[in-house]
C-alpha cells in the first residue's frame, strides 16, 4: 500500500504500511477501522429508563452513540471502547456497564 493511498486501509494493513505520524494524507479512515475489539466492558441501555435527553451522545469520545432525528440510537460497538463515560453522565441510570463477551453484538 502506498503511503498516500488510504483507500486500502483496513484490518489487514500492518503498521509498516501506514503513513508516518503527524502527517495526514486523507480523511475518514476511522470509519473502516474497528477500534472496539479490545474493550473489557461495554455499555448497555435500558430503553424503558432512557428519556432521550442526549447527554450521553456528545460525551462519547468515540462517537459510538448515533443520534438521528433528535433521538439516540443503539450503541455502535464497532467503535465503542468501553470507557463508561456515557454511563457516568446518564442522569436516569439507563446505561450500565457489563462484561464484554465479544459475541455478535446487536441491541
The residue ranges of every structural domain in the chain are 1-33, 34-101
Average pLDDT over residues 33-51: 88
Gap between the Cα atoms of 45 and 58, Å rounded: 16
Under DSSP, the state recorded for 18 is: S
Is a pLDDT exceeding 50 seen at residue 99?
A: yes
Fold of 34-101: Alpha-Beta Plaits (3.30.70)
Looking at residue 98, what is its pLDDT?
96
Q: What is the CA radius of gyration of the chain?
A: 16
Q: Tell me, yes or no, if the pTM score tops 0.85.
A: no
Gap between the Cα atoms of 69 and 36, Å rounded: 25
Give 49-92 pLDDT, tens digit per residue: 999 999 999 999 888 999 999 999 999 998 899 999 999 999 99
Amino acid at each position: 500500500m502506498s503511503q498516500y493511498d488510504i483507500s486500502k486501509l483496513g484490518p489487514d494493513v500492518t503498521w509498516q504500511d501506514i503513513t508516518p505520524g503527524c502527517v495526514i494524507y486523507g480523511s475518514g479512515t476511522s470509519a473502516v477501522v474497528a477500534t472496539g475489539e479490545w474493550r473489557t466492558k461495554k455499555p448497555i441501555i435500558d430503553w424503558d429508563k432512557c428519556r432521550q435527553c442526549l447527554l450521553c451522545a456528545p460525551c462519547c469520545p468515540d462517537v459510538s452513540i448515533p443520534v438521528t432525528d433528535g433521538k439516540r440510537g443503539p450503541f455502535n460497538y464497532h467503535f465503542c471502547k468501553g470507557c463508561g463515560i456515557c454511563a457516568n453522565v446518564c442522569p436516569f441510570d439507563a446505561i450500565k456497564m457489563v462484561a464484554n463477551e465479544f459475541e455478535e453484538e446487536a441491541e
